[in-house]
Amino acid sequence: MLTDLTQQELLPRLQSGLYLLAALAIAILMYDQYRQGLYALVLTNAIAIPAFVFSAIFIYINRNRDGFVWVNYPLVLTVAGLALYQLPDYPQLMTHYLFALPLFSYFALPLLQATVFNILVALLMVILLWLESGFMPALRTGVNYALLLGSAWCFAYLTQLKGWSLKRLALTDQISGAYNRRHFFQTLEREIARSENTRQSVSLIGLAIDDYRQLIDIHGNRVMSQFLPRFTQRTQKLIRAGDDIFRLNDDLFVLILPNCPEDGAIVLMERIKRSLQQQAWKPFAEISVSASAVGYLAGDGCRDMEKRLLAKLRKQKRTSLQLAAFSD
């Protein structure tokens, strides 16, 4: 089902189908050119058909691997090279052929590489037309190509921006700005697999905001909604560059610390806890944070580490309550 496919799985299938359709379209075009006696164009375009078919087969076979995208580079270069090669002999036909290149290249290549490629093609096209047909036809064609290129770039950029926004919405908690629970398990599973392969440790730090419900009752949801992003930003400044912060529950934040043993996580936990509790959080007089840390044990899964972390956090909260009651 298409609805079950991720964007990464769907893109190579779309590219394979498009390349097969392009090969069919070129074959139909070759037949029309043959009927008109344009035999040089027929022979040149015949090279593009196996290029498209090979690319479609290669991408489909390697659809689950990252390397499939590299076949697009020689394919786009081949298509552009064939058009530029025939441009001096058939300027009108090849100009319209090249006008389809911006949209095709942005579909096949990353945004930056496609932009650089199209600028180079535009320069070569203008130079060839200038030498063959004069300055004004070359300038007119260059302006038209630039307009098409600008439109294609805007469409590709907006599509990429939409993809980034959707990804951010899918991975982050909308109130605090931290990553959400679903992304937590995906990230932790990846880090556990990496830890097993590299023999490097991974640890978790749990941070629970004490009396969270009472703070809401006193100050209201709006104040808490303004406080949580500041809490996330402050915590991010206290952790390392490769660490991530996740919001698992209303009052519970968890940090994933790659390449960090449990004793190192405990030291970092105490520093984070002390800094957060000493921070001035208006309109709160102060906040109290419970914290715990666990390291990866051989055979642990994501749920196992989460359960151990929550158990230590509950135990730490009980100890704090007992100490508070004893001191009173």
Instruction: Write down the pTM of the prediction.
Output: 0.61
Residue 22, pLDDT above cutoff 80: yes
Burial classification of residue 18, based on how many CB atoms lie within 10 Å of its CB (0-12 exposed, 13-18 middle, 19 or more buried): middle
**Structural domains in the chain?**
2-171 (no CATH), 181-327 (3.30.70.270)
Contact yes or no for 312/275 (Cβ under 8 A): no
Q: Is the pLDDT of residue 190 over 50?
A: yes
Q: How far apart are the C-alpha atoms of 182 and 278, rounded to whole Å? A: 31
Tokens read off for 270: 């105490």
CB-CB neighbours of 214 under 10 Å: 9
Q: Give the span between the Cα atoms of 75 and 105, in whole angstroms.
A: 10
Scanning 36-62, the segments in alpha helix (DSSP H) are 39-61
Tokens, residue 49: 């058909």
| Percent above pLDDT 90 for the chain | 34
154-161 own/partner pairs: CB under 8 Å, 24+ apart: 155/103, 155/106, 156/106, 156/111, 156/114, 157/111, 160/111
Count CA atoms closer than 13 A to 218's CA, side-chain side: 8
Average pLDDT, the chain: 86
Instruction: Give the other-Cβ count within 10 Å of 32's Cβ.
Output: 11
- What number is the average pLDDT over the span 264-270? 92
- Angstrom distances, CA of residue 97 to CA of 82, 93, 192, 211, 324: 10, 6, 51, 67, 78
d(CA 228, CA 207): 13
**Of 58-67, 97-106, 262-271, 301-310, the least confident:** 58-67
pLDDT digits (tens, 9 = 90+) for 198-250: 888 899 999 999 889 988 988 888 999 999 999 999 999 999 888 999 999 88
CB atoms within 10 A of CB 131: 10
- The DSSP element (H or E) to which 121 belongs, if any, is helix 111-133
Rounded-to-integer distance, Cα 229 and Cα 177, Å? 6
pLDDT of residue 64: 67
User: Looking at residue 2, what is its pLDDT?
Assistant: 37
Q: How confident is the model at residue 132 (pLDDT cuts 50, 70, 90)?
A: confident
At 257, is the secondary structure helix, strand, or coil? strand
| Structure token pair of residue 131 | 């030498």
- What is the C-alpha to C-alpha distance for residues 187 and 26, in angstroms, rounded to an integer? 45
CB 195 within 8 A of CB 257: no
Task: Give the three-class secondary structure for 203.
Answer: strand
Q: Tell me what percent of the chain is helix, strand and coil, each rounded to the nearest 5.
A: 75, 10, 20
